[in-house]
């Protein structure tokens, strides 16, 4: 689709981070082909020796903001099934009593429909790509693809499955399946994997020279248990096994030792923080300012809707900086601009989506429009800081992924109606929780 946005403020998220005033942005097919002044558009065509595109839509932004879409860098999308039905318990009990028994009954079709349900929440909240770890990546990938959402699947292999051979088969089969999707190696967590399995995973990482992601140091119980079993923290264990030799990162990373910080820096790991989930499960507050001080990149994820309970990157952004300030007892800790980078640029790069990190000519048109003409955005002293400190999902009025409008002023364009997805989601919940 060819789209012309005009009368726009544009936050490209390229350094230095500034808001461009009264600009145009052109999309041809899946990619951005022009960002600049209206008056320079003709010169751009002459310089590139191209005719004026035939526009499918010309969109007057009326001074609203275009920016890169948010990247939810850790989630379990089909866990919308568990929203508000397994609350108010610590992580281990929450998993063992409420989650694992129901997950054992879930089918690939269940995961497909529940993932499509989550897409409604993603696109209406400005999320253009997700880093998803869940049970049946083949059907989950299909759900995202059918909804027009960019996604990276990561293996959640553990002692209960799948076999390492299946993980490798998925790596080879799902990478390159379409331009919206990819697949990475990962494991659920140290405490759900035997040493033999972890060694096999590390060997596979070396075979393909690939990055690796896992839940890591989410709770004190997890860290202390790993130290009792192996005499080292989860970060040290995975590093010693060689799983981090080609980069990757960890989800949560709340309880970190001095050696853990050094490993993250040495191995160029990305920390994916999930503040709402960590709060709700009383897991702790991640040391975000220390990661930044050490030059360790931080991205942001929502985690699943069972432990959050919503897929809302605005809430996550505020919590990242707010909790850091309280933890450090320093109101200047973790600047809002850094948090906005975590939610966009850093998440994209952690996911390997280097063509979706910023708005620039040649990059994928994965962008959102923020309505600035709402009370919580006024006055316009500092638009990027407004997004972090006062923005909400109600400010997202348009979401574009790979040049396709998937959400537009309350209308969903993902190939299925919200009502149909609500009905299917409730039917699945009724069947599984009755069982």
Is pLDDT above 70 for 369? yes
Query: pLDDT-derived band of residue 85, with 50, 70 and 90 as boundaries?
Result: confident
Helix (H) or strand (E) holding 228: helix 220-230
DSSP state letters, 319-371: HHHHHHHHHHT-TTSS-HHHHHHIIIIIHHHHTT-TTSSS--TTSB--EEEE-
Q: CA 70 to CA 190: how far, in whole Å? A: 29
Is pLDDT above 90 for 54? yes
DSSP state letters, 17-61: --EEEEEEEEEETTEEEEEE-GGGHHHHHHHHT-PPP--SEEEE-
Is pLDDT above 90 for 96? no
Q: 58 forms bridges with which residues in the sheet?
A: 4
In the block, residue with structure tokens 């012309």: 4
Q: CA 333 to CA 352: how far, in whole Å? A: 28
Catalogue all structural domains in the chain, each as residue range(s) with its CATH number: 2-68+360-412 (2.30.40.10), 70-350 (3.20.20.140)
Token readout for 415 is 């190939």
Residue (of 305, 277, 325, 314) closest to 90 by Cα position: 277
- Count CA atoms closer than 13 A to 130's CA, side-chain side: 33
In the block, residue with structure tokens 């253009």: 128
Please give the biggest Cα pair distance in the chain. 68
Is pLDDT above 70 for 411? yes
The count of other CB atoms within 10 Å of the CB of residue 45 is: 14
Q: Residues for the chain: how many in total?
A: 435
Query: pLDDT-derived band of residue 93, with 50, 70 and 90 as boundaries?
Result: confident
Residue (of 294, 279, 369) closest to 326 by Cα position: 279
Task: Answer whether 175's CB lies under 8 Å from 154's CB.
Answer: no
Q: What is the pLDDT of residues 107-150, one digit of tens each?
A: 999 999 999 999 999 999 999 999 999 999 999 999 999 999 99
Task: Answer whether 12's CB lies under 8 Å from 20's CB.
Answer: yes
Its sign, for the CA torsion 412, 83, 421, 177, is positive
The count of other CB atoms within 10 Å of the CB of residue 276 is: 22
How big is the chain by its Cα radius of gyration, in Å?
21
Q: CA 299 to CA 381: how far, in whole Å? A: 26
* pLDDT score at 224: 98
Cα 47–51–52 angle (5° rounding)?
105
* pLDDT score at 111: 98
Please state the pTM of the whole predicted model.
Answer: 0.97
Query: pLDDT-derived band of residue 300, with 50, 70 and 90 as boundaries?
Result: very high
Is pLDDT above 80 for 86? no
The count of other CB atoms within 10 Å of the CB of residue 392 is: 15
Residue 64, φ and ψ in degrees, nearest 5: -75, 170
* pLDDT score at 435: 59
Query: What is the crossing angle of helices 418-434 and 108-124, to 10°?
Result: 140
Q: CA 435 to CA 431: how far, in whole Å? A: 6
């Amino acid at each position: 689709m060819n789209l012309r946005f005009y009368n726009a403020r544009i936050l490209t998220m390229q350094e230095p981070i500034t808001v461009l005033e009264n600009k145009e942005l052109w999309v041809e097919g899946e990619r951005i082909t022009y960002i600049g002044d209206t008056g320079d558009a003709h010169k751009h065509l002459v310089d590139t020796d191209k005719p004026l595109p035939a526009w499918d839509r010309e969109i007057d932004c009326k001074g609203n903001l275009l920016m890169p879409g948010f990247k939810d860098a850790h989630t379990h999308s089909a866990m919308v099934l568990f929203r508000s039905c397994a609350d108010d318990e610590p992580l281990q009990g929450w998993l063992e009593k409420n989650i694992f028994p129901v997950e054992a009954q879930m089918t690939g079709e269940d995961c497909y429909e529940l993932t499509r349900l989550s897409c409604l929440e993603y696109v209406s909240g400005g999320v253009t790509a997700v880093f998803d770890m869940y049970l049946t990546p083949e059907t989950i990938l299909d759900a995202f693809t059918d909804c027009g959402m960019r996604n990276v699947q990561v293996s959640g292999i553990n002692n209960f499955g799948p076999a390492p051979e299946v993980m490798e088969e998925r790596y080879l089969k799902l990478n390159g399946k379409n331009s919206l999707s990819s697949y990475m190696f990962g494991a659920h967590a140290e405490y759900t994997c035997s040493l033999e399995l972890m060694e096999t995973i590390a060997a596979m990482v070396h075979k393909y020279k690939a990055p690796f992601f896992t839940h890591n140091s989410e709770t004190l119980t997890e860290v202390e248990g790993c130290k009792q079993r192996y005499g080292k923290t989860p970060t040290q264990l995975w590093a010693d096994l060689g799983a981090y030799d080609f980069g990757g990162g960890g989800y949560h990373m709340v309880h970190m030792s001095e050696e853990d910080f050094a490993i993250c820096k040495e191995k160029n790991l990305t920390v994916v923080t999930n503040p709402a989930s960590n709060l709700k499960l009383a897991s702790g507050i991640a040391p975000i300012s220390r990661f930044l001080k050490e030059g360790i990149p931080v991205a942001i994820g929502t985690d699943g809707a069972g432990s959050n309970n919503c897929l809302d990157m605005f809430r996550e952004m505020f919590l990242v900086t707010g909790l850091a300030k309280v933890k450090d007892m320093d109101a200047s800790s973790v600047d809002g601009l850094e948090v906005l980078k975590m939610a966009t640029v850093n998440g994209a790069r952690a996911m390997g989506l280097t063509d979706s990190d910023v708005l620039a000519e040649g990059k994928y048109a994965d962008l959102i429009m923020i309505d600035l003409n709402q009370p919580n955005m006024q006055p316009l002293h500092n638009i990027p800081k407004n997004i972090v400190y006062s923005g909400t999902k109600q400010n997202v009025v348009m979401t574009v992924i790979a040049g396709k409008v998937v959400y537009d002023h309350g209308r969903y364009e993902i190939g299925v109606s919200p009502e149909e997805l609500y009905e299917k989601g409730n039917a699945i919940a009724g069947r599984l929780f009755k069982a």
